[in-house]
Structure 1
Amino acid sequence: MAALVARDIPHGAYVNLGIGLPTLVADHLDPASGVVLHTENGMLNMGPRAHGDDIDEELTNAGKIPVTELPGAAYFHHADSFAMMRGGHLDVCVLGAFQVSATGDLANWHTGAPDAIPAVGGAMDLAIGAKRVFVMTTMFTKDGSPKIVPECTCPLTAERCVDRIYTDVATLQVTGSGLVVLDLHGIGYDDLAARLTVKLTDGRTPDRR
Structure 2
Amino acid sequence: MGMGAEVREKIAKRAAEEIENGMIVNLGIGIPSLVPNYLKNKPQVMIQAENGILGIGPTPESGYEDGALCNAAGYPVTLERGASYFDTTTAFGMIRRGCIDLTILGSLQVSEKGDLANWIVPGKRVPGMGGAMELASKAKRVIVVMNHVNKNGDPKILSTCTLPLTSKQCVDLIITDMAVIEVNESGLFLKEIMAPFTVEDVIRCTGASLNT
RMSD: 1.2
Deviations 1:81-101 (A, max 9, x none): 000011100000000000000
Q: What letter is aligned with 1:171?
A: V
Whole-Å separation in 2 of the counterparts to 1:106 and 1:89: 20
TM-score of the aligned structures, taking structure 1 as reference length: 0.92
Which position in structure 2 is the counterpart of 1:205? none
Partner of residue 182 from structure 1, selected from 176, 179, 191? 191
Q: Does 2:166 correspond to 1:157?
A: yes
TM-score of the aligned structures, taking structure 2 as reference length: 0.91
CA drift at 1:33: 4.5
SS in 2 for 1:27: helix
Q: What letter is aligned with 1:158?
A: S
Which position in structure 2 is the counterpart of 1:129? 138
Whole-Å separation in 1 of the counterparts to 2:176 and 2:38: 16
Q: Does 2:51 correspond to 1:44?
A: no
The range that moved more, 32-41 or 62-71, is 32-41
Whole-Å separation in 1 of the counterparts to 2:177 and 2:158: 16
Partner of residue 19 from structure 2, selected from 1, 5, 9? 9
Q: Which runs of 4+ in 1 moved over 4 A?
A: none
Could you tell me whether the CA contact under 8 Å between 1:99 and 1:147 is conserved in 2? yes
Q: Does 2:23 correspond to 1:26?
A: no
- The 5 A counterparts of 1:56-205 are 56-112=66-122, 114-185=123-194, 186-202=196-212
Whole-Å separation in 2 of the counterparts to 1:118 and 1:77: 20
**Unaligned segments of structure 1, at least 5 residues:** 203-209
Percent of pairs with identical residues: 41
How many residues are matched? 201
Whole-Å separation in 1 of the counterparts to 2:45 and 2:191: 23
SS in 1 for 2:177: coil
Q: What letter is aligned with 1:99?
A: Q
